[in-house]
Chains A and B, each alone.
Chain A
Amino acid sequence: MVADPVSVAEVLNTSEERRVGGSHLMTLTLRIRRFNTEVSDDPWWDEFTIHVDPYERLVEALHHVKWHLDGTLTFRRSCAHGICGSDAMVINGRNALACKVLVRDVAPKVTIEPIRGLPVLKDLIVDMEPFFDGYRHVLPYLVNDEEVERERTQSPEERHRFDDTTKCILCAACTTSCPIFWADETYIGPAAIVNAHRFIFDSRDRGSRARLGILSEKTGVFRCRTTFNCTEACPRGIEVTKAIQEVKRAILTGRA
């Protein structure tokens, strides 16, 4: 098979720049909210100016600072392509993964802060335990003790019903963008609800009664005021607010 030669030539001519990266480096100033109990009881701001490929990921700009300018700058990261969920930060006021933001989209100056509503432990690292407590609280596993010989069946439509919420990577971008969560840490938060949704609408699950009971508590789903911050923040494109609304409706109608 031979592809249309025009399309290949076109690719060659028109998009060389973006795929090989910029031929020039860009100046980027990173303004970073710092906190380190071994240095000061109070947070402070630091600025670093670096020269970096415009098509580089912001997390690599942070690495540049850490590796060459200030080894004490501390943040979490691992996969660096938006799958592991380690590097959620407040970037120019909005929650995002630093590995899914390109330098050229924030240059010449970017402000980076830790995600909000969780205790800051050092620089951009927050205490994730309260977040995972919320997750663990919703029985985030399939409940079904029925005997099955091989596999359970599930129609493509049934499978599709909860597809969106299976994408969650537990990065906390949604939960820590929620003003209700900021004001009241007992609110279970969007991510926990997303992970409950993933089972509530799974045709194979039998645990919805217990799960909906948990979510109808004072700390649960009805705290949501549909500000949509969570949906905007989700780096996986999950329609978080919609999922929350579906869970509310399931509680009100008594069925998933």
Chain B
Amino acid sequence: MTVTHTYDAVIVGAGGAGLRAAIEASGRVKTAVISKLYPTRSHTGAAQGGVCAALGNVEEDYPEWHAFDTVKGGDYLVDQPAAEILTHEAVESIYELERWGLPFNRTPEGKIDQRRFGGHTADHGARPVKRACYAADRTGHMILQTLYQQCVKRDVRFFNEFYCLDLLRSDDGRTAGVVAYELATGELHVFRAKSVLFATGGYGRMFRVTSNAHALTGDAPAIAFRRGIPLEDMEFFQFHPTGLYRLGVLLSEGARGEGAVILNRDGERFMERYAPTIKDLAPRDVVSRSIYQEIKEGRGLGRKGDYVLLDLTHLDPRVLEEKLPDITEFARVYLQVEPKDEPVPIQPTAHYAMGGIPTDVHARVVVGPDEEVVPGLYAAGECACVSVHGANRLGTNSLLDIVVFGRRGGDDMVAHCLATELPAIDDDVTTPTRDLLDGILTRRDGDNAADIRAELQDSMFDLAFVVRTDEGLGKMHEILDGLRERYERISIGDTGTVYNTDLMEAVELGYLLDCAAALVAAAQARDESRGAHYREDHPLRDDANWLKHSLAYRQDDGSIRLETKPVKMGPYIPMERKY
């Protein structure tokens, strides 16, 4: 049985971007939010260190400095007009969160306190600047809670534990809604709508070591990809330097903002060699590569020599208690290390997708080098690529991205809904989804999804992580072809209709395989090193050939076609990236 709902605006995903869009749209047009999790479970809640805005509450700062840092941090692949919007609208966005009750830490004068963060500098790289507004080391938690509170206040309509499985488009290319699976009952629901905003987050679960939640499986990017929409800049995936060893659980860059340093096995603060000016506060791609280099040259620790240390022992214990309590607890619980007494073992962890569904600055999904707008389709947050993060996102800019472009997307959806009619849909729109699910449910004695997922995660970690080569990516491509073949034959143990998470995990694995295929294809084509994409066989940036975005299209036979589109430049001329 299929249930049909009709809304003006449907938002898929209830993390920061989805909730912020919902606040904007609800009350103005009939709005629904579909989320595979309860909204407060979304991974925005795991963000720790802060959200940047040039408030100048603690020291001199300007949005223009923030824009420069964002562009340079992104290794000049950032679309500069988008970065200017991000950094200028940051200021009002933070005040708005404060007015909605977000409990920021405060200065002695009672203003929003600010601290240092990687890659954020005063006066175009001269020195680190205190720009990150924060609520202890649970800033993302407080943003998620605050936005959800505002949704409760506005009586936003949520469909919790509904998995979006397909995007509906009318014959003339307009967005017509989505198909969703109700986890509690196994029923399919058709949500007809004039506009859809995707805000499903990232896809870090394709890697073995990741800070990402199990839920981060690239749902919207894969669904869009299958419906003919390209994915932009997929080769750029951020590896955060300070993940808890083996587990990948994030230890905030806010720790280094408060003075923590990274040490090798000789006890040397090695970032002084790699980034003499801002040292441990260099951007994440730089620090992760430096850690890789230390490990490669035999200065890692442990039996396998494959980790380094984050040292917080010299910090005032009150700083740990008041400003970094959560990460202190993570070290205690998961590694039995007491951070005030001994350094914490860390390694780079797959953290954030810079790439995703291409959008303009109104969060409208755009296709091709000429950026043709897909009417009624929007994306915001990590699943989208505006691109404000370019080749490497600066810490804190993701929380900023979700509130700035979530708001912009919600606002533009309203305008679109008011100006358009509900597109017609065919009677059998759920057929592809039914075929997908029935295929998995009816097959017996097929391959085990968990085995395929583990192989995907292990091989992506080995071949497409901090350091990549043409050879390794070619091998990864072959592995993915094999995994895809096996995926077509999977079967699962739970064939029921009630809370069948076994079925949904199998579907999610399909999304991960699609996103990984796009990532690997784009990474193999880009024979240069830029930001988070480091090619050992092409270690230099190549602006002459590669100062451009990649677009990956899924073709009917499952193969991937690549094209490029120009970067939108602005005041900042690409120069060598030194810190």
Taking Cβ atoms with an 8 Å cutoff, the residues of A that contact B are 1-5, 7-8, 10-12, 15-16, 18-21, 36-38, 55, 57, 63, 66-68, 70-72, 74-86, 100, 102, 121-123, 125, 128, 132, 136, 140-142, 144, 148, 150-156, 158-159, 162-163, 166-167, 169-170, 199, 202, 204-205, 237
Q: Which of B135, B247, B272 has the most CB of A within 10 A?
A: B247
Q: How many residues of B contact A (CB 8 A)?
A: 83
Could you list some 28 contacts between A and B, CB below 8 A?
A2-B267, A3-B267, A3-B311, A8-B266, A8-B267, A10-B342, A11-B309, A38-B496, A67-B449, A78-B215, A80-B214, A83-B326, A84-B43, A86-B38, A100-B333, A123-B499, A140-B149, A142-B99, A151-B55, A151-B111, A151-B112, A153-B106, A154-B110, A159-B103, A162-B103, A170-B40, A202-B101, A202-B103
A-B interface, 7 closest residue pairs, ranked by CB to CB distance from nearest: A71-B493, A142-B101, A67-B450, A153-B110, A141-B149, A71-B502, A72-B494
Q: Are A154 and B342 in contact (CB under 8 A)?
A: no
Contacts of A122 in B (CB 8 A): 498-499
Cα of A1 to Cα of B280 in the assembled complex, Å: 12
Within 8 A of A (CB), among B157-203: 184
Segment from B67-75, B300-308, B557-565 that makes contact with A: B300-308
Q: Are A78 and B496 in contact (CB under 8 A)?
A: no
B520 at the interface (CB under 8 A from A): no
Contacts of A199 in B (CB 8 A): 101
B330 at the interface (CB under 8 A from A): yes
Tell me the nearest residue of chain A to B100, going by C-beta.
A142
Q: Are B106 and A38 in contact (CB under 8 A)?
A: no
Cα of A140 to Cα of B37 in the assembled complex, Å: 20
Smallest CB separation, A66 vs chain B (Å): 7
B335 at the interface (CB under 8 A from A): yes
Given A3-B263, A38-B497, A150-B95, residue A84 in contact with residue B101 (CB < 8 A)? no
Q: Are A20 and B496 in contact (CB under 8 A)?
A: no
Smallest CB separation, A205 vs chain B (Å): 7
B98 at the interface (CB under 8 A from A): yes
Contacts of A170 in B (CB 8 A): 38, 40
B6 at the interface (CB under 8 A from A): no
Smallest CB separation, A52 vs chain B (Å): 14
B141 at the interface (CB under 8 A from A): yes
Q: Are A7 and B343 in contact (CB under 8 A)?
A: yes
Given A3-B267, A74-B501, residue A21 in contact with residue B246 (CB < 8 A)? yes
Contacts of A169 in B (CB 8 A): 40, 45, 141
Q: Which of A20, A140, A163, A205 contacts B302 (CB 8 A)?
A: A20
Cα of A82 to Cα of B326 in the assembled complex, Å: 10
Contacts of A102 in B (CB 8 A): 333-334
Cα of A91 to Cα of B525 in the assembled complex, Å: 49
B152 at the interface (CB under 8 A from A): yes
Taking Cβ atoms with an 8 Å cutoff, the residues of B that contact A are 37-38, 40-43, 45-46, 55, 94-95, 98-101, 103-112, 135-136, 138, 141-142, 145, 149-150, 152-153, 184, 213-215, 245-247, 249, 261, 263, 265-269, 272, 301-304, 307, 309, 311, 313, 326, 329-330, 333-337, 342-343, 345, 448-450, 492-494, 496-502
Given A11-B342, A159-B106, residue A204 in contact with residue B101 (CB < 8 A)? yes
Q: Are B335 and A78 in contact (CB under 8 A)?
A: no
Given A15-B342, A141-B153, residue A152 in contact with residue B498 (CB < 8 A)? no
Cα of A79 to Cα of B44 in the assembled complex, Å: 10
Q: Which of B42, B136, B150, B335 has the most CB of A within 10 A?
A: B335
Q: Are A19 and B335 in contact (CB under 8 A)?
A: yes
Contacts of A159 in B (CB 8 A): 103-106
Smallest CB separation, A158 vs chain B (Å): 8
Q: Which of B184, B215, B343 contacts A8 (CB 8 A)?
A: B343
Cα of A145 to Cα of B523 in the assembled complex, Å: 51
Contacts of A18 in B (CB 8 A): 335-337
Contacts of B313 in A (CB 8 A): 3, 7
Q: Are A5 and B267 in contact (CB under 8 A)?
A: yes
Smallest CB separation, A150 vs chain B (Å): 5
Q: Which of A20, A144, A148, A237 has the most CB of B within 10 A?
A: A20
Cα of A120 to Cα of B123 in the assembled complex, Å: 58
Tell me the nearest residue of chain B to A162, going by C-beta.
B103
Contacts of B184 in A (CB 8 A): 121
Contacts of B311 in A (CB 8 A): 3
Contacts of A205 in B (CB 8 A): 101
Q: What would 4 more interface pairs be, CB under 8 Å, given A8-B265, A79-B213, A162-B103?
A: A7-B313, A8-B266, A79-B46, A151-B95
Contacts of B501 in A (CB 8 A): 66, 74-75
Q: Are A136 and B152 in contact (CB under 8 A)?
A: yes
